[in-house]
A and B are shown apart, each in its own frame.
Chain A
Amino acid sequence: GQNIDQPTEMTATEGAIVQINCTYQTSGFNGLFWYQQHAGEAPTFLSYNVLDGLEEKGRFSSFLSRSKGYSYLLLKELQMKDSASYLCAVGGNAGNMLTFGGGTRLMVKP
């Protein structure tokens, strides 16, 4: 089976850095995705890690450690528009089926 854990809520200040953690236990592993979802909107793709290490993309970076079953999403220079839910999702063995965590709701305050 698949089990994915991430904090339910986080709060951070505009301009700061925040790290959102995700731990997973899966029967197979085919990469880890991070998606951003604003309230009432569709999830949008942020990052994909399949090998260990850090992937950087502008203000957002994502890290993966397969041996530890652990990933984090790092958001730098936070902006108010970054207030959203951040979904960690793991690809398993069955095709391209993703198993999602419950999401972390990030609130950015002035």
Chain B
Amino acid sequence: DTAVSQTPKYLVTQMGNDKSIKCEQNLGHDTMYWYKQDSKKFLKIMFSYNNKELIINETVPNRFSPKSPDKAHLNLHINSLELGDSAVYFCASSQDGTGGNTIYFGEGSWLTVV
């Protein structure tokens, strides 16, 4: 019974393409996130949504556009993919956006841009 699920798990695509990663959580949480983990294993916040509203948007190129149709879903669309976008993208959720809430991560989506 997966709590935070994201698809696809693996994605290989060419430069310039547009791709989407979908995420769903069945924990009843109000807040969802996208994190990026690069080749040096640093996990960095990209976006945070609370009840479908954008809360945090770290310095991310506007080629990345998150969409939250409802509080259980947060999808990530990436336009004009570049080689540097190759990374693992983790979706996550927490009960709400207040400090101290445990963040639960999805399995990750391995994106390779060739």
Footprint of B on A, CB under 8 Å?
30-31, 33, 41-45, 48, 50, 85, 87, 89, 91-100, 102-103
CB-based contact A30/B102 at 8 Å:
no
CB-based contact A31/B99 at 8 Å:
yes
Give the distance in Å from the alpha carbon of A45 to the alpha carbon of B4 in the complex.
Answer: 14
Main secondary structure of the interface of A (DSSP, over half): loop
B63 to chain A, nearest CB (A): 21
How many residues of chain B get a CB closer than 8 Å to chain A's CBs? Answer: 27
Give the distance in Å from the alpha carbon of A94 to the alpha carbon of B98 in the complex.
Answer: 9
Chain B CB within 10 Å — which of A48, A92, A95, A103 has the most? Answer: A95
B86 within 8 A of A: no
Q: Can you name 15 A-B pairs with beta carbons within 8 Å?
A: A30-B99, A31-B100, A33-B103, A42-B108, A43-B90, A48-B102, A89-B43, A91-B99, A92-B99, A95-B97, A97-B56, A98-B103, A100-B44, A102-B41, A103-B42
Footprint of A on B, CB under 8 Å?
4, 31, 40-45, 48, 50, 55-56, 90, 94, 96-108
